[in-house]
Amino acid sequence: MKRVYVNEEWCLGCHLCEYNCAFANSGKPDMATALKGKPIYPRIHIEENDKISYAVSCRHCTDPICVKSCIAGALRQEDGVIRIDREKCVGCLTCVLVCPYGALAPDGDGVMQKCELCLQNSCGEPACVTGCPNRAIVYEER
């Protein structure tokens, strides 16, 4: 299965992936309308310090601990992709607790959201990958 991988060596810490992610999942026609003057809730995050930076998003684990732990049955695995049913989420944050990558986070309303590889939005392929200026984020079979 194709997954999003990050080559830390080439990550510039520019944070463009976060904005491209938030825009791709906004349903708005342009980025300024979607993101101007608002806090953003991207599904990919840059981890960084002075020397190193890399993006982290859902690894789509083959044996996903988040799915097992979800008390509401909102998380499920579908063709290898970990999907979330936001209608079912009760905002208990158990998935946040168990995910070893810190890949899940609530949106502004407290409902959990996570990377679904842009398969469900208008982008069609991961926006973080297409927008990465240095090919640090790739979408490939490994």
Residues 64-103 that bind another protein (CB under 8 A): none
Q: Which is nearer to another protein, 124 or 133 (CB)?
A: 133
**DSSP-assigned letter for residue 33:** H
Residues in contact with another protein, counted by CB under 8 A, come to a total of 21
Closest CA to 85 of 58, 120, 56, 127: 120
**Minimum distance of another protein from residue 12's CB (angstroms):** 6
CB 83 within 8 A of CB 73: no
Whichever of 83 and 107 has its CB closer to another protein, that residue is 107
Handedness of CA 12, 24, 106, 85 (dihedral sign): negative
Q: Which two tokens stand for residue 137?
A: 């984020």
Which of residues 10, 41, 54, 139 is near another protein by CB under 8 A?
A: 10
Distance CA(141)–CA(60), nearest Å, equals 13
User: Segment 40-59, which members bind another protein (CB under 8 A)?
Assistant: none
Closest to another protein by CB, 12 vs 97, is 12
Q: Using alpha carbons only, what angle is made at residue 104 by residues 97 and 100, rounded to the nearest 5 degrees?
A: 50
Contact flag: residue 142 with another protein (CB under 8 A) = no
x-or-dash string of contact with another protein, 16-35, rule CB under 8 A: x--xx--x------xxx--x
The amino acid present at 25, given as its one-letter code, is: N
Of 73 and 133, CB closest to another protein: 133
Phi, psi dihedrals of residue 64, rounded to the nearest 5°:
-75, 120
Contacting residues toward another protein, per CB under 8 A: 9-10, 12-16, 19-20, 23, 30-32, 35-37, 131, 133-136
